[in-house]
Amino acid sequence: MDIKILHIDSNHPVLWDQLQHSGFINHSDFNSSKEEIEAKIQDYQGIVIRSRFKIDKTFLDKAANLQFIARVGAGLESIDCEYATSKNITLIAAPEGNRNAVAEHTLGMILSLFNKLNQADSEIRAGHWNRESNRGHELDGKTVGIIGYGNMGKSFAKKLRGFDVKVLCYDIQENVGDANAKQLSLTEFQQKVDVLSLHIPWSPETNKMVDSDFINGFTKPFWIINTSRGKNIVTADLVAALQSGKILGAGLDVLEYEKLSFETLFNDKHTPEAFQYLLKAKNVILTPHVAGWTFESHQRLAQVIVDKIKAKYFGQAKDVEPE
């Protein structure tokens, strides 16, 4: 078997090593432009990427012998999936690989917001010992709502089992609720939720989903956590809701302004007014798209990808985690 794989992003060494041990031929190119990669992609049967550039129709037309695209991450929005599938190219992702990391990060953001940990820490470092203004809230007794009940949503719901909370979920798929979360219609969901956590992909249906109308559809003021994709929230509408008190606080691991590569924040040097507000808001926690980016998930993501590639060519690999 001469299956040549081009790696265009660096990943955990287990991915390269195990593929090589299994007989695949690995090549790497972490620096060439998209056009330079396109000029040689016809020589490869597989490609392993993270988010360096978009795999579009132009790229796929040049990839005449491509049999699979493996993205070391949860989402496939950087790939023209429909066109790739029409060319019988297998699409591989690894949502199992970082679902635990995302769940823990989400929980950490909620507890930090509720207990004002970031605010209290910065005040003490500035020489201020303010107890009353840093009085927190308890998660117990709250209703936590999860939108998107797939790998990430289910993992987060599992983390909440140790708390005395009610957990609800909303998903476009029917009958995905389980013992950890009760599935409701969106209207019912919005009537009950105190804390909202987004675990949805970025798609035409979810793009700018959380806007003023969506936010005002909730009966109670609520906290919001977004570890999914930044463009699922209209930042200006989020800021307006923070200012009015409709949203009590926000934990954002992702931002509307991110570039596709996730490596830099802005496409230009302009800082949007809404983002300037977030930077100063004490009830907002920001992290740089790292919810699923732990040391453990780095290896686990690579392992899941290896197992799925091997399963494609050799049958189901025993190490592949169940969907």
CA dist 299 and 184 (Å) reads 35
Helix or strand or coil: residue 198? strand
Rounded CA-CA distance 145/223 in Å is 10
* Nearest residue to 81 (alpha-carbon basis) of 103, 59, 110, 114: 59
Rounded CA-CA distance 219/217 in Å is 6
Within 8 A by CB and 6+ apart from 93, the residues are: 70, 71, 73, 74, 75, 76
Task: Return phi, psi of residue 201, to 5°.
Answer: -75, 170
- Among left, alpha and beta (phi > 0; psi -120 to 50; other), residue 261 is alpha
Q: Around Cβ 173, how many Cβ atoms within 10 Å? A: 9
Helix 295-314 to helix 95-114 angle (10° resolution) is 160
Q: Which residues participate in catalysis according to the annotation? A: 229, 258, 289
**Are the CB atoms for 215 and 193 separated by under 8 Å?**
no
B/e letters for 184-203, b = 16+ CB within 10 Å, e = fewer, are: beeeebbebbbbbbbbbbbe
Nearest Cα to Cα of residue 68 among 258, 257, 309: 309
